[in-house]
A and B are shown apart, each in its own frame.
Chain A
Amino acid sequence: MKKKSKVLTLMLTGVLVAGLLSGCRAAGSTKSAAEKVFNYGTVAYSVGNSNVGLNPHDAYSGWSAVRYGVGETLFKFNEAMELEPWLAKDYEQIDDYTVKINLRDDVKFSNGKKMTGEAVKACLDDLIAVHDRAPKDLQIKSIIADGQSITIVTEIKSPALVNYLCDPYGAIIDMEAGVSADKNVVGTGPYVAKTVNDTEINLEANMDYWGGKPKVGTVNVKSITDGDTLTMALQSGEIDAAQGLPYASLELFQNNDDYTISSTNTSRVYQTALNYNSAVIKDDAVRKAMAMSMDKDGFTRVLLQGNGTPAIGPFPAKFTFGGDAVKAAGYDLEGAKKVLEAAGWVDTDGDGIREKNGQKLSIKWLTYTSRQELPLLAESVQASYKQVGIDVQVNATDSYKDFLQAGDYDVFANAFVTAPTGDPQYYFTTHVVDGSDYNRGHYHNDQVETLVSQLRNEFDTEKRSDLAIQIAQQVLNDNAYIYASHLKMSFVMKKGVTGFTAHPSDYYEITANLDINQ
């Protein structure tokens, strides 16, 4: 027995020494670009996110194409979410229905072919023919290609057309090369995918990239959907950077000299839609009290561990129409109690829950768990609402769609990217107007209807911004939605990784700037 343990000790020591030696060797040399390998673990790439593969014309796979440096769009957003040219040079709004886009002359696909107006037209034609969301967003009637420019005519007035083209589905790919069986495409970006599958993408640098030579030769994107595994893989050095770490683990990398963190505020908001079809919710006082009893600050500071900003309206402060451009009721439990009392909601039977006309003030809170923050919000609200006498029944289920369809909820809490195109129209047309896709609260306000239809036809950016503020304010005045917090997104990387920064749009991750210095 003793002998055995000695042998075991020796073996372990041997393995450790070998490990150390090989570690030293790697650290001692400087690598050329071709030798550099970047292993990137992310929770965002998975079948569940409908973004596996790199074909921008399929579901959300365009996000993967753009994020991992394979595809690029005609225009892009800068850090302030303003439009910038990317594959395009500029554009002219010829009339309310016509836009002419001039393309760069020096862009080549990764197979060496030149990106021409014809190529872009072929790509966009395929996009609106096969994609599920793009035709509705873009409303394209026809595209005419002429040398290095294209002219797009739309069915309806489309002030946000160029913004929509920044959506990753607008990534330009070579349609002649088409889409391979493993969902690979030929794009214009700094990286070319060698292998693509549901759990991993192996990329190689595109040495002829129009925007300069990439500095890292190989990039492996790995789907790691379990937050703890992701954390430990980064700690053990199996990956060089991670996206989507659980908040609890971020602490391990903060104030740690071995890692750097890049964070940014996004327009992803945790919001709750209050269901006007519910008898209790219809009561203005109830909605008001609910808005006043949500501890947005505590939720953001403690439960999100500071990885967010308490929200007022749907848009974050980065936008002219976001942040404190609108006003909402502050956190005030005593005030909420008074509001309820004044409206006749009192606790008559002493169980801590208020009643009115024999109706208990109990609300069904529908949400889902695939976003780790939502159950936290539900549980935190449950406690604060109880203090003002509102009972909350949480239903956190991933089959929430069944409940939505059945109308079996008083409140629906979800996460939503409110301004993916840097423009406010998208959020309002999907959330607050009659019969819109995500109007889960069945909210209706005549004033809002008028303002949104004005917004649809307004081309002036400043006026659009004003309209957006007016609409958001009206929604807040009605307490139709309560906005809890805007998410802060973080990339954590080993020290020495540069050129890898979190972008507020959540579109751009791997670029030609990525580098590893040892």
Chain B
Amino acid sequence: MKKYIGKRLFQLIPIILGITLLSFTLMQTAAGDAVDALYDNSGGAVSETIKAEKRQELGLDKPFLIQYMTWLGGVVIGDMGVSYISNEPVFETFVSKLPATIFLTLTSILLTVLISIPFGILSAVRHNRFTDYLIRFFSFIGNSLPGFFVSLLLIYFFALKLKLFPVMGNGGWKSIVLPTLTLAIAMASKYTRQVRTTVLEELNKDYVMGARARGVREPVVLYASVLKSSMLTIITLLALSIGSLLGGTAIVESIFMWDGVGKLAVDSIMMRDYPMIQAYVIWMALIYVLVNLITDLTYHYLDPRIRLEQEASPWN
């Protein structure tokens, strides 16, 4: 196990280097001249000599790889430069908004679990019957609507027509309901189907047939055997969705005025605030990689057989 963890951690290094190099290159290409951008946004016209001095100060006259290394060194100690727009340190701004996003992510995961597991099981148990069709129908719809459209519909019905929840974020516990719901609808639609598939598969296995043949009661079969063995898969799926949710909150956050990193990212895109976008890209990628790693390790710990199977799986 230790050896495995060590190996996985070692594998992480090139990935992290790759992520940072790729996003650094992308942003360098996108942003054009950082000094021009800096002064352009601060309004005044500045002479070329001052710009050249600033370039030297920022080390922008050095070769690309040196610039990258310097920048990477900064990232490690939490220095990701200064926002072009607000002139605030990027890292601090980002960290201050991260908790809101994590909170939203967790509530969405929770709601996703609360919706998808019961409905997924129900759908599997009632395979090809009315309930199954109904659940699948709704999961199809939930899966086929863009997030921003769902948000608008939810606000319209729950905040305007029923006046149950507020439109905007950060106003007490009620304000998290609608953004959570928006995110959870899309996720739950997907996972309900996957839970259904997993449970169905398990239900078709020989041991279930055997248990049934021995006269074990259906609820016991379901809860004691099937659920237990399907849970592993389901938990992995959910853990992995944390990563995808962290990235997927951007649009929802900006619609609900939820003051998290997603909204920060969308705002930064609109204003071409490259240092901020860069921070967002890198941190989201790092969090995603970490969550995947932890999931893998847990998986590995729970079920060592996976090791073999994993080699052939799309993710290892």
Contacts and interface: CB of A to CB of B under 8 A. Distances in A.
Direct contact between the two chains A and B in their complex (CB within 8 A): yes
Interface of A: 12, 15-16, 19, 46-48, 50, 52, 59, 132-133, 136, 198-199, 222-226, 228-229, 232-233, 235-236, 238, 370, 398-399, 401-402, 405, 437
Contacts of A15: 164
Nearest to B264: A47
Contact of B272 (A223, A224, A238, A399): A399
Which are the 8 A-B pairs with shortest beta-carbon distances? A132-B44, A233-B167, A132-B43, A48-B271, A232-B167, A236-B159, A47-B86, A232-B155
Contacts of A399: 272
Given A199-B259, A233-B166, A236-B160, 6 more contacts: A132-B42, A199-B257, A226-B255, A229-B255, A232-B160, A238-B166
Contacts of B269: 398
Contacts of B14: none
A236 B163 contact: yes
B254 interface: yes
Contacts of B42: 59, 132
23 contacts: A16-B162, A48-B85, A59-B43, A132-B43, A133-B43, A133-B44, A199-B257, A224-B257, A226-B254, A226-B255, A228-B152, A228-B255, A229-B168, A232-B156, A233-B167, A233-B168, A236-B159, A236-B160, A236-B167, A238-B167, A238-B171, A402-B32, A437-B45
Contacts of A16: 162
A217 to B, nearest CB: 19
Contacts of A405: 36
B61 interface: no
Given A132-B43, A229-B255, A229-B257, A398 B270 contact: yes
Contact of A235 (B83, B85, B160, B162): B160
Contacts of A59: 42-43
B40 interface: yes
Interface in B30-60: 32, 36-37, 40-45
A226 B262 CA distance: 14
Nearest to A48: B271
Which of A224, A370, A401 neighbours the largest number of chain B CB atoms within 10 Å of its CB? A401
A138 to B, nearest CB: 14
A233 B255 CA distance: 11
Contacts of B32: 402
B267 interface: yes
A2 to B, nearest CB: 14
Interface of B: 32, 36-37, 40-45, 83, 85-86, 152, 155-156, 159-160, 162-164, 166-168, 171, 254-257, 259, 267, 269-272
Given A48-B270, A236-B160, A229 B40 contact: no
B45 A225 contact: no
B163 A19 contact: yes
Contacts of B159: 232, 236
Given A133-B43, A199-B257, A47 B271 contact: yes
Contacts of A402: 32
A465 to B, nearest CB: 29
Contacts of A132: 42-44
A132 B256 CA distance: 34
Contacts of B85: 47-48, 50
A235 B162 CA distance: 12
Contacts of B156: 232
B34 to A, nearest CB: 13
B82 to A, nearest CB: 13
A333 B86 CA distance: 46
Contacts of A52: 86
Contacts of A437: 45
Nearest to B274: A399
A437 B43 CA distance: 10
B166 A236 contact: yes
A153 to B, nearest CB: 23
Contact of B267 (A47, A136, A222, A238): A47
Nearest to A52: B86
Nearest to B164: A15
B270 A370 contact: yes
A363 B42 CA distance: 31
Contact of B257 (A50, A226, A401): A226
A12 B157 CA distance: 14
A405 B45 CA distance: 13
A46 B255 contact: no
Contacts of A198: 86
A224 B168 contact: yes
B267 A225 contact: yes
A289 to B, nearest CB: 33
A398 B168 contact: no
A238 B36 CA distance: 41
B167 A229 contact: yes
A226 B151 CA distance: 12
Contacts of A136: 44
A233 B256 CA distance: 10
B39 to A, nearest CB: 10
A170 B176 CA distance: 41
Contacts of B45: 437
A232 B166 CA distance: 9
A399 B164 CA distance: 40
B287 to A, nearest CB: 23
A226 B257 CA distance: 8
A15 B174 CA distance: 12
B255 A48 contact: no
